[in-house]
Amino acid sequence: MQQPKPNQAFRWGILLNSIYIIAEATFGLLIGSIALLADAAHNLSDVLGLGIAWFADWLSCKRPTANRTYGYKGSSILAALINAVFLLVAMGAIIVEAAGRFAHPEPIQGGTVMLVAGIGIVINGATALLFHQGQAHDLNIRGAFMHMAADAGVSLGVVLAGGLYLLTGWEWLDPFVSILVAIVVLIGTWGLLKDAVNLAIAAVPKAIDTTKVQAMINAYPTVASCHDLHIWALSTTDVALTVHITRKTDANNDQFLTDLSHKLRHTFDIAHVTIQVEYGDYQPLQDGDNAY
C-alpha cells in the first residue's frame, strides 16, 4: 500500500483524533467517567504533538535566508525532542494516576469503556500506520508515530482491563494494566528521546559510522590522509559533512572533489558535503586532541 505524504498524514491524523477526542469527552460527560475525560485530555496533548511535528515538517521545507543559511531544517529535531518529552510526561501522569487508584479503586462501566477504547484502537492504530513508513528515516515522523502507537497501546490496555473487569469485578485491573502499558511506552520513548538529544547537540547520526567514513576517504585514490572530519544532522533527514583532505597530487582536483562528494552522498546518504583539499605532509594531532 502506498504511504501518504507527511503533509497528508498529519492532516488526517489530526482530523481523526480531534473527532475521537470530542466523542470520548462526550461519552465521559454522559456516563460520568473520569477515566474517559482524562484520556480525552491526554489525546488532546497528542493532537498538539502532531501539530508541532507538522509545523516543523513545514518549516523544514522553507528556503534558507541570509540569517538562516540552512533554513529551518533544525526545527524537525526540536519537534522530535518536544514529542519525546510530551510522551514521557504523559506516561508519567498515567502512572501517577494509576498508582493513586490502587489506593482508592473506582468501579468502571466496563462495556461503555471497552466500546470507546475500541474505537480509540482503530483511530490511533490507523493514524500510526500513516506514519509507519516515514518513521524509519525521519525522527520527527517517528515521534508522531510513537505518539499514535502509544495511544493505541493504551486503548488496547483499557479494552483488556474493561473485559476482565466485567468477568471478575476486580477494580484494580484498570490501574494495573495502565501502569504496564505506560512502562512499555516509556521504554520505547527513551530511545526516541536519546536520538533526539543526540541530534540536537550535533552528534553523529546513529545510522552513520564515522570510522567507516574516515576509512573510505583515506582509501580513496590520491588521498594521503584526512582530518577535521565532522558529521552532524541538519534536520531529522539531512546530514552534513565537512572534512580536510591532504592529497598526494593536485591533478584533476575539480573532478576529484566531484567524484568523492558523490561517493560520500551515495554511500552514506549525506546531503551536504564540504571538502577542503590541502597538499603536502599533514602533521597529525597530538594525543588528547580531537582525532577527527
**For residue 262, what is the domain's CATH number?**
3.30.70.1350
Q: Are residues 21 and 85 in the same domain?
A: yes
Q: Are residues 88 and 196 in the same domain?
A: yes
pLDDT of res. 282 = 46
**Single residue among 138, 165, 200 that ends a domain in this structure:** 200
**Single residue among 176, 200, 224 that ends a domain in this structure:** 200
Q: Domain range spanning residue 264?
A: 210-279
Say yes or no to pLDDT of 290 above 60.
no
**For residue 160, what is the domain's CATH number?**
1.20.1510.10
Q: Are residues 249 and 131 in the same domain?
A: no
Q: Are residues 273 and 150 in the same domain?
A: no
**Single residue among 152, 173, 200 that ends a domain in this structure:** 200
Please write the tens of the pLDDT for every residue from 41-100: 677 777 888 888 888 888 888 888 888 888 888 888 888 888 888 878 877 887 887 788
Please write the tens of the pLDDT for every residue from 83-136: 888 878 877 887 887 788 777 776 667 787 788 888 888 988 888 888 887 776
Residue 291 lies inside a defined structural domain of this protein: no
What pLDDT band is residue 275 in, cutting at 50, 70 and 90? Answer: very high
The percent of residues above 70 in pLDDT, for the chain, comes to 88
Say yes or no to pLDDT of 36 above 80.
no
Residue 20 lies inside a defined structural domain of this protein: yes
The whole-model pTM stands at 0.71
What pLDDT band is residue 255 in, cutting at 50, 70 and 90? Answer: very high
Q: Are residues 122 and 196 in the same domain?
A: yes
What pLDDT band is residue 218 in, cutting at 50, 70 and 90? Answer: very high
Q: Are residues 65 and 139 in the same domain?
A: yes
What pLDDT band is residue 223 in, cutting at 50, 70 and 90? Answer: very high
Q: What is the full DSSP assignment across the chain?
A: -PPPPHHHHHHHHHHHHHHHHHHHHHHHHHHT-HHHHHHHHHHHHHHHHHHHHHHHHHHTTSPP-SS-TTTTTTHHHHHHHHHHHHHHHHHHHHHHHHHHHHHS-----HHHHHHHHHHHHHHHHHHHHHTTTGGGT-HHHHHHHHHHHHHHHHHHHHHHHHHHHHHH--TTHHHHHHHHHHHHHHHHHHHHHHHHHHHHTTPPPTT--HHHHHHHHHHSTTEEEEEEEEEEESSSS-EEEEEEEEES--TTHHHHHHHHHHHHHHHH--SEEEEEEEESPPPPPPTTS---
**Residue 2 or 106, more confident:** 106
Give the count of domains, the chain: 2
pLDDT of res. 43 = 76
Say yes or no to pLDDT of 1 above 50.
no
